Amino acid sequence: MSAPSAQRPSAPQHTPKVSEREARQVAEEARERDWHKPSFAKELFLGRFRLDLIHPHPLPAGEDVRRGEEFLARLRDFCDSRVDGALIEREARIPDEVINGLKELGALGMKIDVKYGGLGLTQVYYNKALALVGSASPAIGALLSAHQSIGVPQPLKTFGSQEQKDTFLPRLARTDISAFLLTEPDVGSDPARLATSAVPDGSDYVLDGVKLWTTNGVVADLLVVMARVPKSEGHKGGITAFVVEADSAGITVENRNAFMGLRGLENGVTRFHQVRVPAANRIGPEGAGLKIALTTLNTGRLSLPAMCVGSGKWCLKIAREWSAVREQWGRPVARHEAVGSKISFIAATTFALEAVVDLASQMADENRNDIRIEAALAKLLGSEMGCLMADELVQIRGGRGFETADSLAARGERAVPAEQMLRDMRINRIFEGSTEIMHLLIAREAVDAHLKVAGDIIDPDKPLSAKAKAGANAAGFYARWLPKLVTGPGQLPGTYAEFNPAGHADLASHLRYVERASRKLARSTFYAMSRWQGRMETKQGFLGRIVDIGAELFAMSAACVRAELLRTGDDHGREAYQLADAFCHQSRVRVEELFTRLWSNTDDLDRRVVEGVLSGTYTWLEEGIIDPSGEGPWIADATPGPSTRDNVHRPVR
């Protein structure tokens, strides 16, 4: 019989102990601090609506379009003929022949340059491919995304040596699957406590530790591993990135994890015990691992909202087909306002999400703008709205939405996997930075300009001389900046007139709203910093709403610009204007509510309730139930050492 949970360690005992301030310092040192290129979203948070940065909408080169469309056609044929999403769901595994077929198709190398054997697709077409294959099977979309967006190819592309690129990229383009290993049993978004070690030993490093939730880890051939190098003579130390052969001696995949959704996901627990890695496999210098990880995610995050776009398109198709057939009280359910509003939300939001992803992706391809905030906003908006659209589809389908596709088929109805879509989409609010972490990450970037001029004023470690200097700098900055937030082009009725063509919906009024709202957003941020100063970082509810407002304004802007692009290209322009208009009206309702909740909310009351919950004040409220949870520690012990489990690693050949 297992030991009582009270007698077990509640967390890995070897995890480094760090203070909150130390943890924040590690994260701050890893982020990109400079802005060398313009950023539409950064300007938006500062109250400057730089429409010129996104309009006219950037377009891909003709050759990129040709190659991208040719691959999409081949991928569609493959998905239609070779991918059985229902089988993957039932067996909780992508068949090896499907993975090998994807390899033959070149899908592993979509983002890898042709000189290394890849397809060299642009970010735009890579995302379109993920949306397509993800609609056939979300598990396949996750496998390809984890391999290319955050796996070994992306950090090598940006930070790898030429020798590393020549060695690994040809393998990754055609045969080898990769995985990204950062998370540990007791370390999530707080990398300062990362415990996996990489100890220098001659021309090698010796890795010890345990990694959790290693997507693709069960089938991977190559791993990018984040480990802590101890500081010593000749070694700077710090969190460092390594390329590791997955079949190296001492690596054990101890478990294939199972989840509520993405049942075909090859996600595991990987233990390293005395694993020798050549120093030549280190990516970048020692201590640069976290910066490499965060930089990789700047564009890597775009893959997730791309798949959310694909799910939105599917939700819209099913909602349209079902709601025209299903009748209640003598009318198709789509004709009832309660259901119709949900369909309108799905259609308008899908249009806006695609606009956001395509715009951010094209900007990434052109490399003219810094898109770190845009990519993060796309991930935040896509994951939240994608999950909500799937939930609304289940509601539109009613009892059939809650019923599995197999059960529907068994009783003679169309096998619509709506409940599976909801389960599969739910992870997106957690993957690659949870919604809560994304709020904090984006908020930090949004207030960067303020911290650069006034940060020393609120830093308790800075001497009075530094505070005085910062005060003088801040006075000059705000004397120039604040007056610009009072009036702007959003108050002039004729501004953005090209977005109000005859016979189309008026999108100019929405862009004027975005301009006014961006200035209001900047003023609100300034007022909050003046009010809370050093305590601003603890006001996570406020910061989350600030970010959500910015996300809505970015999406409104992208939707309008995309609609105008389609109109001028004579490609469903009138319909695009209608969808953009609907989304902007819906978004404005949400923005106004968020502005109200900046200052009228229950944040303080919630904190008091939380203190009561943690202190046991409300334990009486938990009485009268049976807890079905099993025994065991809340967090598994990950003390380094040899594995006692069977190795479930199974490379696909």
**pLDDT tens track for 304-340:** 999 999 999 999 999 999 999 987 787 878 888 999 9
pLDDT of residue 294: 86
- Is residue 488 scored above 80 in pLDDT? yes
- Is residue 427 scored above 70 in pLDDT? yes
Query: What is the average pLDDT across 524-548?
Result: 91
Cβ partners under 8 Å of residue 500, min gap 6: 506, 507, 508, 509
How sure is the predictor about 464, in pLDDT bands with cuts at 50, 70 and 90?
A: confident
Token pair 């564009």 is at which residue? 299
Share of the chain above pLDDT 90, in %: 81
622 is a catalytic site residue: no
pLDDT single digits (tens) 367-395: 889 999 999 999 999 999 999 999 999 99
pLDDT single digits (tens) 77-124: 999 999 999 999 999 999 999 999 999 999 999 999 999 999 999 999
- Is residue 475 scored above 90 in pLDDT? no
- Cβ–Cβ under 8 Å, residues 418 and 394: yes
β pairing state of 222-229 and 178-181: parallel
Q: Where are the beta strands (DSSP E) in 110-203?
A: 178-181, 197-201
- Is residue 568 scored above 60 in pLDDT? yes
Q: How many residues does the chain have?
A: 653
- Is residue 56 scored above 90 in pLDDT? yes
- Cβ–Cβ under 8 Å, residues 187 and 27: no
More confident residue, 578 or 463: 578
Q: How many whole angstroms separate alpha carbon 625 and alpha carbon 444?
A: 42
DSSP 190-240: -GGG---EEEEETTEEEEEEEEEEEETTTT-SEEEEEEEEPPBTTB--EEE
Share of the chain above pLDDT 70, in %: 95
pLDDT of residue 30: 65
Query: What is the average pLDDT across 5-12?
Result: 40
pLDDT of residue 11: 42
Residue type, position 585, single letter: H
pLDDT of residue 3: 38
* H or E element in which residue 390 lies: helix 372-397
3-state class of 617 per DSSP? coil
pLDDT of residue 28: 67
pLDDT of residue 4: 37
- Is residue 525 scored above 70 in pLDDT? yes
The 3 state secondary structure assigned to 242-262 is EEEECCCCCEEEEEECCCCCC
**Mean pLDDT rounded to a whole number for the chain:** 93
- Is residue 519 scored above 70 in pLDDT? yes
Going by C-alpha positions, the residue among 141, 120, 2 that lies closest to residue 61 is: 120
Phi and psi at 364, nearest 5°, equal -65, -40
**Two tokens, residue 69:** 């469309």
Token pair 């601003």 is at which residue? 536
- Cβ–Cβ under 8 Å, residues 610 and 558: no
The verdict on whether omega for the bond into residue 56 sits within 30 degrees of 0, i.e. cis, is yes
Of 51-65, 207-221, 467-481, 587-601, which gets the smallest average pLDDT? 467-481
**Two tokens, residue 456:** 């020393």
pLDDT of residue 468: 81
How sure is the predictor about 21, in pLDDT bands with cuts at 50, 70 and 90?
A: low
How sure is the predictor about 12, in pLDDT bands with cuts at 50, 70 and 90?
A: very low
User: Which DSSP symbol is given to 56?
Assistant: S
* H or E element in which residue 13 lies: none
Phi-psi region of 319 (alpha: psi -120 to 50; beta: other; left: phi over 0): alpha
Would you say the C-alpha torsion 297, 301, 302, 306 has a positive or negative sign?
positive
More confident residue, 152 or 6: 152
**Two tokens, residue 88:** 């993957």
- Cβ–Cβ under 8 Å, residues 406 and 84: no
Query: What is the average pLDDT across 15-22?
Result: 67
Phi and psi at 298, nearest 5°, equal -55, -45
Q: Which of 266, 354, 403, 432 is catalytic?
A: 432
Token pair 């008026």 is at which residue? 506
pLDDT single digits (tens) 254-304: 999 999 999 999 999 999 999 999 999 999 999 999 999 888 888 788 999
Token pair 């769901």 is at which residue? 89
- Is residue 604 scored above 60 in pLDDT? yes
Q: How many whole angstroms separate alpha carbon 424 and alpha carbon 216?
A: 16
How sure is the predictor about 9, in pLDDT bands with cuts at 50, 70 and 90?
A: very low
Residue type, position 426, single letter: R
- Is residue 637 scored above 50 in pLDDT? yes
pLDDT of residue 453: 77
- Is residue 220 scored above 60 in pLDDT? yes
pLDDT of residue 53: 97
- Is residue 1 scored above 50 in pLDDT? no
